[in-house]
């Protein structure tokens, strides 16, 4: 879709075409047949654009509660943060009078900011994405927020006198390959040194190498949603809440955990095993979690915790231990057969074992409904197997 096609969609005729396209309930595999039907009453280019939006709105429902009213471009939608995340992040800016969203894309972050700040300036060099951002922000915007949209590369224009900035640099190259160095981002992370504002939030990869951040005076927030690690955010200036520490944030609850400089004992697995949320592990807060729930570690190098009694925590998945023993294929196969297990889920923490080869070697003969989780790991420095079941 180009800008003129998008603008055509905003006209009364374009909106009627969009309604007709939505009514066809298109799917990728039915796109051509739906296009043929729609073209009988709608201009070909408008029909194609309308069907494209209708398809992406369905995908957008996984990220946005009002996707049915929004406009998307495929790559920009894939790169956008989910609404629950952008809304959470926006709360950091709630005390700022004016925020500039630099490189706003289709407005995934602007829509969260527009609900909490009195003035927002969204800057994007791509004219189509900027036009979509304007419409998408309108869907969510609070009446009290004044919004301005500027088509430009924010590095090449005089930035507005905003109190704070939000940046979401590109982390893929022109061929779509991931960029792993923060200085390879577009723009590179070092751009913060050239910006007049000190209150800055920057989205980075959740897999960012922490040694690349050593020279940046920022807080690092790792965010997971429903147990999946989604992103990391660097907070500078007054937007920091934990100094230069790291913090794990779990959404949708908003619960947080910060690292603690304490020693945790290591013991063999007891009755329950805990697998910390990936945000907790990335934030280096496993020992803080252990202290919080009264757990020990099973190995100095492994992020697995254990307790004798069950403890409720939002920061980890809990498993009941069925058996544990030193690693060995024959021993593991015998233990599974003794329990008449017909299906296993294999997890690894610090083990080099190939999962597929291990699964084949088990030669399970029990009924499929009899299942266990097999954790291949280390206990007190030795290769180990833990048979367990997930706790609800």
Q: What DSSP line would sit under 260-292, residue for residue?
A: ------B----SEEEEE-HHHHHTT-HHHHHHH
Helix axes 31-38, 44-60, angle to 10 degrees: 140
* Residue-level pLDDT at 170: 86
Nearest-CA neighbor of 250 among 97, 364, 84? 84
Q: How far apart are CA 52 and CA 97, in angstroms?
A: 37
- Banded pLDDT at 172 (limits 50, 70, 90): confident
- Banded pLDDT at 136 (limits 50, 70, 90): very high
Encode burial over 212-225: b for 16+ CB neighbours within 10 A, e otherwise. Answer: ebeebebbbbbbbb
* Mean pLDDT for the stretch of residues 302-326: 97
Q: How far apart are CA 258 and CA 242, in angstroms?
A: 8
Percent of the chain with pLDDT over 90: 87
345 contact partners, CB below 8 Å, separation of at least 6: 371, 372, 373, 374
User: pLDDT for 331-360, tens place per residue?
Assistant: 999 999 999 999 999 999 999 999 999 999
pLDDT at 158 over 90: no
pLDDT averaged over the chain?
94
User: pLDDT for 90-129, tens place per residue?
Assistant: 999 999 999 999 999 999 999 999 999 999 999 999 999 9
* Residue-level pLDDT at 160: 82
* Residue-level pLDDT at 308: 97
- Banded pLDDT at 161 (limits 50, 70, 90): confident
Cβ burial of 80 (10 Å; 0-12, 13-18, 19+) is buried
* Residue-level pLDDT at 289: 97
pLDDT: which is higher, 297 or 42: 297
User: pLDDT for 14-27, tens place per residue?
Assistant: 999 999 999 999 99
Q: How far apart are CA 372 and CA 324, in angstroms?
A: 13
User: pLDDT for 238-281, tens place per residue?
Assistant: 999 977 799 999 999 999 999 998 999 999 999 999 999 999 99
User: pLDDT for 29-78, tens place per residue?
Assistant: 999 999 999 999 888 889 999 999 999 999 999 999 999 999 999 999 99
* Residue 245, φ and ψ in degrees, nearest 5: -75, 170
Q: How far apart are CA 14 and CA 179, in angstroms?
A: 38
pLDDT at 386 over 80: yes
pLDDT at 201 over 80: yes
* Mean pLDDT for the stretch of residues 168-192: 89
Q: How far apart are CA 227 and CA 229, in angstroms?
A: 7
pLDDT at 176 over 90: no
Question: Which phi-psi region, left, alpha or beta, contains residue 340 (left: φ > 0; alpha: ψ -120 to 50)?
Answer: left
* Mean pLDDT for the stretch of residues 178-193: 91
* Residue-level pLDDT at 197: 82
The neighbour count for residue 242, using CB atoms within 10 Å, is 15
Q: How far apart are CA 358 and CA 347, in angstroms?
A: 11
* Residue-level pLDDT at 25: 93
Nearest-CA neighbor of 206 among 279, 103, 256, 255? 279
- Banded pLDDT at 220 (limits 50, 70, 90): very high
* Residue-level pLDDT at 74: 92
Query: Does the global pTM surpass 0.75?
Result: yes
- Banded pLDDT at 174 (limits 50, 70, 90): confident
């Amino acid at each position: 879709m180009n800008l003129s096609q998008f603008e055509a969609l905003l006209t009364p005729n374009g909106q009627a075409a969009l309604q007709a396209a939505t009514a066809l309930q298109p799917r990728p595999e039915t796109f051509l047949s739906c296009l043929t039907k729609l073209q009988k009453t709608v201009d070909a280019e408008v029909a194609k654009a309308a069907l494209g939006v209708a398809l992406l709105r369905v995908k957008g429902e996984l990220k946005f509660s009002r996707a049915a009213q929004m406009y998307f471009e495929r790559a920009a939608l894939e790169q956008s943060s989910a609404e629950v995340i952008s809304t959470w992040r926006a709360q950091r800016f709630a005390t700022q009078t004016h925020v500039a969203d630099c490189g706003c894309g289709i407005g995934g972050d602007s829509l969260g900011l527009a609900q909490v700040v009195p003035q927002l300036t969204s800057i994007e060099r791509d004219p189509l994405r900027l036009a979509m951002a304007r419409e998408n922000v309108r869907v969510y915007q609070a009446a009290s927020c004044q919004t301005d949209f500027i088509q430009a590369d924010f590095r090449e224009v005089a930035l507005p006198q905003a109190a704070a900035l939000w940046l979401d640099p590109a982390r893929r190259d022109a061929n779509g390959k991931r960029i792993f160095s923060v200085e390879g981002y577009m723009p590179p992370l070092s751009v913060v040194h050239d910006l007049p504002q000190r209150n800055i939030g920057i989205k980075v990869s959740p897999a960012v190498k922490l040694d690349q951040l050593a020279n940046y005076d920022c807080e690092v927030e790792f965010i997971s949603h429903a147990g999946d690690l989604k992103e990391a955010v660097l907070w500078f200036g007054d937007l920091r809440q934990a100094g230069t520490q790291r913090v794990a944030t779990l959404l949708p609850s908003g619960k947080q955990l910060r690292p603690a400089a304490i020693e945790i004992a290591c013991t063999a697995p007891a009755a329950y095993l805990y697998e910390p949320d990936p945000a907790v592990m990335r934030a280096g807060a496993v020992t803080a979690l252990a202290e919080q729930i009264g757990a020990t570690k099973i190995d100095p190098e492994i992020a697995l915790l254990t307790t004798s009694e069950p403890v409720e925590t939002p920061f980890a998945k809990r498993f009941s231990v069925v058996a544990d023993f030193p690693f060995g294929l024959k021993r593991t196969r015998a233990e599974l057969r003794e329990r008449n297990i017909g299906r296993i889920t294999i997890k690894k923490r610090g083990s080099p074992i190939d999962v597929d080869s291990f699964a084949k070697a088990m030669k399970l003969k029990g009924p499929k409904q009899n299942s266990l989780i097999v954790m291949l790991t280390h206990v007190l420095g030795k290769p180990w197997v833990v048979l367990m079941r997930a706790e609800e």
